């Protein structure tokens, strides 16, 4: 009988995505800093970047999109952002993970992937904000979204490096 690696198991993937979606929700929810308009900044991008680098694009897309959407739903006045967060952060996680896969151990690719992710996230919220709140409010939020994304990239890369250093087999869990 051939023993299946835990990471290849659908149950393992579902469990890891659920756990990381919960972590993303908590980091998005705890410490929310309301913006002058109807948005907020948070640390959810840390979990998205960490997941993309450590567990791959599909895990990051699902955990990032679901986690941030759930945080919006749980945040009362921000619930209307949930579908936007699902798409924007899901795409952010997917793209960061796909770019990192090109050279997974190169910090330059992680930084480049993070920059692309920040542009996608900030651009997605800017576009949605123009339609939902008007150009003035959307542009007011833009620098805060860029700051949130930059902090998420830096901390996500650092946390991923620490986890990979502490537990190298995690590299086999990408999906």
CATH number, domain with residue 151: 1.10.1760.20
Residue 37 scores a pLDDT above 80: no
**Is residue 1 situated within a structural domain?**
no
Taking the model in full, what pTM does it have?
Answer: 0.92
What is the spatial distance between Cα 67 and Cα 18, in angstroms, rounded to a whole number?
Answer: 9
**Is residue 129 situated within a structural domain?**
yes
Q: Could you give the count of Cα atoms lying within 13 Å of 128 in the half-sphere of its Cβ?
A: 20
What is the spatial distance between Cα 156 and Cα 159, in angstroms, rounded to a whole number?
Answer: 5
Residue 3 scores a pLDDT above 60: no
**Is residue 95 situated within a structural domain?**
yes
Cβ partners under 8 Å of residue 11, min gap 6: none
**Is residue 103 situated within a structural domain?**
yes
pLDDT of residue 6: 59
Which of 95, 52, 47, 39 minimizes the C-alpha distance to 67?
47
The model's confidence at residue 5, banded by pLDDT at 50, 70 and 90, is low
pLDDT of residue 39: 75
pLDDT of residue 131: 94
Count of domains observed in the chain: 1
What domain range includes position 126?
A: 6-173
**Is residue 131 situated within a structural domain?**
yes
Average model confidence (pLDDT) across the chain: 91
Enter the tokens of residue 98: 């796909």
């Amino acid at each position: 009988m051939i023993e299946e690696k835990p990471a290849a198991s659908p149950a393992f993937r579902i469990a890891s995505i659920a756990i990381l979606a919960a972590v993303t929700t908590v980091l998005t929810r705890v410490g929310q800093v309301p913006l002058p308009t109807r948005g907020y900044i948070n640390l959810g991008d840390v979990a998205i970047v960490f997941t993309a680098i450590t567990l791959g694009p599909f895990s990051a897309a699902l955990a990032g999109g679901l986690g941030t959407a759930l945080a919006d739903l749980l945040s009362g006045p921000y619930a209307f952002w949930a579908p936007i967060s699902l798409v924007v952060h899901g795409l952010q996680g997917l793209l960061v993970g796909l770019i990192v896969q090109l050279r997974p151990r190169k910090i330059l690719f992680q930084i480049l992937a993070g920059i692309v992710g920040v542009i996608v996230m900030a651009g997605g919220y800017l576009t949605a904000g123009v339609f939902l709140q008007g150009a003035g409010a959307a542009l007011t939020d833009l620098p805060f979204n860029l700051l949130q994304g930059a902090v998420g990239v830096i901390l996500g890369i650092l946390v991923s490096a620490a986890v990979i250093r502490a537990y190298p087999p995690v590299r086999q869990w990408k999906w």
